[in-house]
Each structure stands twice: as C-alpha cells, then as structure tokens.
Chain A
Amino acid sequence: MMETGNFFVLFLSLCGTGIILSALFPDQKNPLILAWVSSLAAIMVLLASGKILLSDQVWQTELWTLPFLGKLVLKMDHLSALFIFVTGLVFLPVSIFTVGYMPKYVSHYNLKTFGIFYHLLFGTTVLVLVSGDILSFLLAWEAMSIFCYLLVNFAHEREETTRSGFLMLAMSEAGTLSAALAFLILAKTSSSIDFASLKSASTHLGPLARWWVFLLSFFGFGVKAGLVPSSTWLPRAHPVAPGNVSALLSGIILNLGIYGIVLVNADLLPLSQFGQGLIVLIVGSISALVGILYATTENDMKKMLAHSSIENMGIISAGLGAGFVFMASGHPILAGIAFIAAFYHLTNHSLYKSLLFLGAGAIDSSVGSRDMDRLGGLIRQMPWTALFFLAGTLSIAALPPFNGFVSEWLTLQTMLQSTALSSTGIKIAFAICGAGLALTAALAVTCFVKAFSMSFLGMARSSGARKAREISRPMLIPMAILAIFCLLLGVLPTYTIPILDKSVSPLVQKSVTDELVPPFFTVKKGDPKFDEAFISEFHDLGAQIGKDFLPGRGLVVLHRGSEKNPVVFAMSSSYSFVVLLLLLGGTFVVCLLIKERKVTRQPAWDGGLRYLLPEMFYTATGFSNPVRVIFNAIFRPTTVEHRKETVAEHFRKAIKMVRKEAHIVDRTIFQPVVEFMQSTSMYLGKMHSGSVNIYTAYVLITLIVVLIVQLLL
C-alpha cells in the first residue's frame, strides 16, 4: 500500500486535473468529467485518511520556512484524518449526483466555472484540514470560504441568491477575522507559527488571554459551524444554492467550523475553566432548540433542512461542551465519551444530511418545487427516492436501527453522567441542557414525520407533483450509498467507536475504547479490568453471542461508571437489528404460508365522499401548527386578515389571511443591534453638516487635540 503522503499528492493532482479538464470540456460533458475526476479524488482522500485512522501513525511534512514566522507544515493527525474521511465520504456521492443534477442548469449558467470552483473547493477544504500552521490554515480557510461562496452564488442572476450569498460571505469573513485574532493571541508567546510550537507555548498564557482565545475562536468558528446567534446566513444560503452544493455545505463546510473549535480549544489550548465549557454547552443547546423549532414550522424543504443543520450542530456543540466541562473537572474518561458522542454525531450528520439534501435536490428537479405544501403522493411515482429519503428521515429522527439513534443516545447519556461532577450549579445546567436536547429530539421526530409524509404520502397537491417522474440512476446511486452507510454506522457502532477513539484519545490523553465497548468477544481470563462476575452477568444477557465467528471486540456499547457513581448504560443496536430482521422476516414467512388470503383493493376510507380532493388533506402548515401555537412566545407571528363580504355581513365570500414572522435571533439580537447602529449613525451623521467652515474647524480641533495628547505623554 502506498503511503498517505502519496495518496495526498495524487489527490491534489487530481484536483488540478479536474480544474483543467473542466475549463476545457464543453458544458454538456462537464458534469460527467467532474463526476469521474472528483470521485477518484474522493477515493484518494478516503484511502489517505483511512490509512491513518486504521493505524497509529501520523503523517507530516514541512513545506517552507518563512523568516520571522516559522515553519509551514502540513500534517494529518487522527483528528484531521477523521474529518478528512468524512469529507471524502460526502464528496464521493455528491460528485456522482452532479451528473444527473447539473444538466438542468446547462443553458442558463456556465457549467465550466462550476466544475472549476468545485474542484477548488474540494482541494482547499482538504488543505484546511491538513494545515499544520496558522498561515496555511488561514490561507486555505479564506480560499475555502470564497469558493464556497462562489458555488452557493452559482445561480447568480436571481437577486435573492446574490443577497443571501453576500450575507454568507460577509458573516464568514467576520468569523474568519475573529478566529484569526484568536490565533494571533495564541501565537503571542510562541516562536513559530506551526501548531506544535503553539501547543507547547500555550501553557504560558494567562487566564485573561485564555478567555479571549476561547471567546474569539468559539464565536468566530461558530459562524462557520452555524451556531446561534451567528447562524442567520445558513437558512438563507441553502435554498438558493444548487442541490449538490447544499449537501456539501451542510455535510462538510459546517464540520470545518467544529474542526476549528476543537482544534483551538481541545488541541492547541485545552480549556481549563468550567465556565468556558458551560458556554459551549449552553450555546449548543439553545442552537439545537431554536433550530428544530424553526425547522418544524418551515415549509420550504431546503430551509427546513438548513434549520435542522443548525439543530444538529447545536447537539454536536453541546456534546463538545459537556466534554470540555468534564475535562476541566478532571474526568477524562467522561470527556472522552462526550467527545466520541460529538464526533459520532458529526459523522452521522454529514451522512444523513447530505442524503436528505440530495433527496431535496432530486424532488426539486423532478417536481419543480420545494414547497411541501405543493408536494404529496410522490411515493408512487418516485419509490426509490422515497425509500432512500425515508432512510435519511429515520436517521435524523434518531430512530433505530439507523445511525442517528446511536449518536443521539450517546449524547444524552453523556448529559446524564453529570452526576459525577461536584458543583451543583453545573449539574443543574447539565440537567436543563439535557432536557432541552430531549425536547429537540422529540421535535425532530415531528419535523421529519412532516417532511416525509407531506412530500411523499397522501395525494399530490399540485400539477408538478402529479407529473413527477423517478430520477435518473446517477442521482439514485449516491443516495443509496449514503443510505447504506447510515444503516451500517447505526448497526455497527462497536466497530466505529474504536476508530473515533483514535481521534479523541490525543485530546483527553486517555483511550476510551475499553470504557465504551467492552471486549466481550476477545476478553481473556484474568483481565484486571473485566472480571469474571461482570463477564458472566452479561454473558447471560447474550453479550457473547457470535463470539466465535464475528470479528471485533463485541457488539454491545456499555459503560460502567466509577465506584463513586456506578451507573451502567448499555445498548446494542447490532443485536436489535438482528432481532428486527428476524421478526420482520418471520412475519413475512408466516404471511406467505397462510394460503387463504383474499386481497381486495379499495380506495382509502374517506367518510363516503364522492371525491377526496387534495385540498382535504392536511398541509404541512397545518401539521406543524400546534408547535407554532405552543411556542408562540418564540415565534410571535403577526397575522393580517382580510374579509371580503357582501352587503349583509353574513355572506362571506373570501377570507384572506397573511402571516408574517421574524426569526427570534433576528428579532432579539440583530434587529436591535442594527437599529442601534442606524440610530447612532444618524446621530453621528449630524457631524456632516456640509459646511466647509465646520470641516475646517474639525481639522483645527483635531490638531489641537493631538498636540495636547503629545504634550501629556
């Protein structure tokens, strides 16, 4: 097998080839070229990072040494290998999807530029993850932001697109600035700009500097990660971007924000104060709750998925926050479990979110609309899309046997581990945030039941939905790949967790694999950690079934608490999946054996109506209305009602109702800030009186002030 470095070089050269080929080939052939080259590049990247993940080595190379600054380093340790692997996992299917999806843009926009930017984005994303020093990191980050903006802005002739894209770029730049400042503070005491030097020098930083680094990096990278309050760009950017770009945006780009947070706060300068971890936890929980609330009441499918991304990033952030708090209070094992939960959720989110976005793109290109109130009944015309979308829906709603269940379960279990902490205040905070996460999980089920059933079940509500046809194979295969991965990661957590542990253990300095996946299959007698009594207890529960022919450590995810806090939590989605298959299969077999079945098909019972019309079905708005009503304090919509009546008011001809609402973050944070700035500017604008004499007076006053200051100092 080749070395990681070689794979990496191959990857870069493939990206370069892709750029050149995209520039050369005409628009019609471009998506195909893009798909081929980009898939190969993704495979290269998977091999490169996979090699690192499965072994214990780390890859590093130094590029140049700059004067005054230090070495420019490229390195792939286990943390970045994990993120790069996820990146490859998402880029592969999205590239294949592009073949079927982009042709709809052929005569409107230039597909060559799309291909060029696509490969550039791929390359710079991996470069961000591979950077080993501040300069290359920031350069790659900026490039990634710009190419991401260019791709999101692809349909640039629509005003909505340019506005949203510009907002995204502006907020991204603000975040980058904040993150850069954090890096600068970090580099204050270091001799060189590479991360290794930063890490060793960071121990000298005082508490105030640490707080500044934390705040700047958390809120700076938080913009990219889509955490409240800087998430306003995300729901605006997703609907205007092309379908495959949305998948990349939610599946990969948001992860980069998390990578930045983890890099600075867990790797370079590990957090030492509870307060910092608590802030991450609380911001994460609030993002999760706000995100899912708006997702549940949203009818545009891509906007809904965008809000849901905010929710999932919130969950990841909450897991990270819990980990930070555990680290700061001296529980490295619990911290490790928390980080594993967060990284598992990150991986899962990338997979199922890109699956859902590809599904939304498929529906959009087939029906012509994304509004769930205009879909309906698509399961008959698009059965395969429905099946894969269903897999994505079940995953995001955290239902077994899919992957979302495992990571959501682990995150909530981590929250419950707060009993190991000593401070009551923190325990209360954990309890409240845990309850908030549980609420978001429940709302997520509502949201995605609505998403699937309003789009695919029921009757078609518009002519576009009636005329929809199944999408082409190149669009189905990537969805299938992602759906299969979702299932695999859900059914085989005991194989995934040891790999994730490789990324987590450098951060907490302890390996957590034994704590989470006891080696029921491979345990030997006399092992100090797993005594006879323990093993036999779980043997009776079936934890050693399959010991003889299955590889790996075991199939049960189990954690025993410490002596002080002996709480056991355990789950085996692998065994549950087998039981599920047996039950379903058994039912199927029994049905086949019963011979006397007479099947008649009649239309669904509708009360004896002559025609059941699409207007009589629940709409997406109606389905989520109870949520809107219960959480009215957050939504605060304003409704304007017009009644058109005839002369005697009892005959009503038409009642028209228009509802307007502003996002809570906009309402509480941005609008007041904007208004304040506007009013301050108006006030200060009085300085511009327009009279030349006053301006001359300003010059004189400035001169006098400068003289005085200089005399005083």
Chain B
Amino acid sequence: MIMVRWVLKGLQTGIKTTSYPRREELASGVSPGLPEGKREPRDGALSVISRCPTYALRQVGQQILVDYRRCIHCFRCVRGVQDVLGWNLGYEWAAYMNKNDGPPPKLEKVFGRSLHIFFVDGGACNACISELEQLNKPFYNIHRLGFFVTPTPRKADILLIAGPVTDHMRFSIQKAYAGMPTPKRVLAVGACGLSGGIFGPSFASEGGVQKLIPLDVGVPGCPPPPLAMIHGLLLAVSRKPPASLTSSGSVDGRKKS
C-alpha cells in the first residue's frame, strides 16, 4: 500500500527537470556567476587586481581580463568595491583546453546521443562532487541527454575528474586513464582541475589535471553549477559551442544589473 502512495507522490510532484539545453534556464540561484572584465576601468583597477587571491585578474591595455580557470568565486573583486568589474550570471562556461592542437575531432557522430562517463575523484572538496551528484537528480537529469555514468573505465568514453589531482591519486588516475579504450576524452571540472584552485601546485597536489594526463575539456568554477557541467558534457560531444576561458570572449546568460 505504501508503494502506491510513493508512486502517487512522485506523480503529484510533477516535472522539475530543467529544459536546458533546449531553452535557457531562467530560475534564480542556478549559478553563482563569473566576473566580467570591463573596458575603461576606473582608477581602482590595480587595487582590484591585487584583491584576487588566485591571480585570476590582469590588466591588458585598458581592460581587466579574467582568467576563468583561476576564478574561485570569492567575490572579493566585487564586494566592497565600486563598480569595477561586471558580474555575469550565466552558466555556459566550458571550453576546450588543448588550444594548441585545435579543437579535438568531433565526437558527436559516435557518442553524441550516448556517452558513458567515468568519474574519478582527484582530491576534490565535496562541493564539486555535490554538484555532480545533482546531475542524476530530478532537476538536471542527464539521462535524458544520453549521458550515463559507468563504474568501470572499460565501458567509459569520457573521464571526468574533479579536484587538483593529489599526489596519492596519481597512480590510480593514470591507471584509470590507461584502462579506457580509445577514443576517449578527459573532462576536468572545477578550478582545482584547471589551475590547482586555492591549493595550487604543491608537494601534495599536482596543480591541475593537465600535468598528469591530456585534458580535452575544462569547466571553470568553484564549484561549477550543474548547468555548467552539462554544458561541458555537451561541449565534449560537440552539441554546444565552447565558451572562452578569458572574459574577452562571448559568455551566454543574463547580466546582473
């Protein structure tokens, strides 16, 4: 009898899933947003740049550029400071990481509608993992897009890594990467995987996935919201265009007034 009540409750709750990527997600609170570089900043530019603890801001000519790989959402560049940087509440942040080789060959023909993901935790603080767990939950539900999670690298097409890759996990990650059959791609989630985050390269962490295995797609953020991770996965199968890793490129989403 209770099972019937569970079914009814599920039906009662209705559909909560977001309609991204078909339509933009307009609910509030889906993304912490990223800073946006501004042209012709006022005089306080240098002091703003020095406020960033991860050296993500730099001045080029008359513009402040943001290196999104380093941004950790500490808000120190916008709080308590008068109108130097803009803030963009979008979520499509993923980008190709191996720019030197050009974009990787399109995966869409083979894996566009059915991609198997193998997740490895390279020392992530729980925030990225918690966001990743939301992907299989009602609001985001990546199954509808054809993405599945597999517990073994033998059946995986894409390796998802979160965290700065601690030294103790090096061996396991290399083993996991070697254990995947070709063609395979690597997706790093979070600022830690792209630049080391606040931990940076040290004796205990590599400071980025690229130091260990070749990286194809990166999703900046600390933590990137689930929609950004979906954008990253869609980018990996070429179903969506990439964003730029610095603020000079186009960034989708709404602007905060």
Contacts and interface: CB of A to CB of B under 8 A. Distances in A.
Interface of A: 598, 600, 602-603, 605, 607-610
B153 interface: yes
A603 B171 CA distance: 14
Contacts of A607: 172
B173 A608 contact: yes
B17 interface: no
B152 A608 contact: no
Interface majority SS on B: helix, strand, loop or mixed?
helix
Contacts of B104: none
Contacts of B178: 602
Contact of B182 (A598, A603, A605, A608): A598
A43 to B, nearest CB: 51
Given A598-B182, A600-B181, A605 B171 contact: no
A603 B172 CA distance: 13
A600 B169 CA distance: 23
Contacts of A602: 178-179
Interface of B: 120, 152-154, 169, 171-173, 175-176, 178-179, 181-182
A560 B3 CA distance: 46
A610 B168 CA distance: 11
22 contacts: A598-B182, A600-B181, A600-B182, A602-B178, A602-B179, A603-B175, A603-B179, A605-B152, A605-B153, A605-B154, A605-B176, A605-B179, A607-B172, A608-B120, A608-B169, A608-B171, A608-B172, A608-B173, A608-B175, A608-B176, A609-B172, A610-B171
Contacts of B169: 608
A607 B171 CA distance: 11
B73 to A, nearest CB: 30
Contacts of B175: 603, 608
Contacts of A605: 152-154, 176, 179
Given A608-B171, A610-B171, 7 more contacts: A598-B182, A602-B179, A605-B152, A605-B176, A608-B173, A608-B175, A608-B176
Contacts of A598: 182
Contacts of A608: 120, 169, 171-173, 175-176
Nearest to B155: A605
A367 to B, nearest CB: 31
Contacts of A609: 172
B250 to A, nearest CB: 38
A424 to B, nearest CB: 38
Contacts of A610: 171
Nearest first, the 5 closest Cβ-Cβ pairs linking A and B are A608-B172, A602-B179, A605-B152, A605-B179, A608-B175
A425 B154 CA distance: 56
A607 B151 CA distance: 9
Contacts of B171: 608, 610
B42 to A, nearest CB: 51
Nearest to B120: A608
Contacts of B176: 605, 608
B52 to A, nearest CB: 35
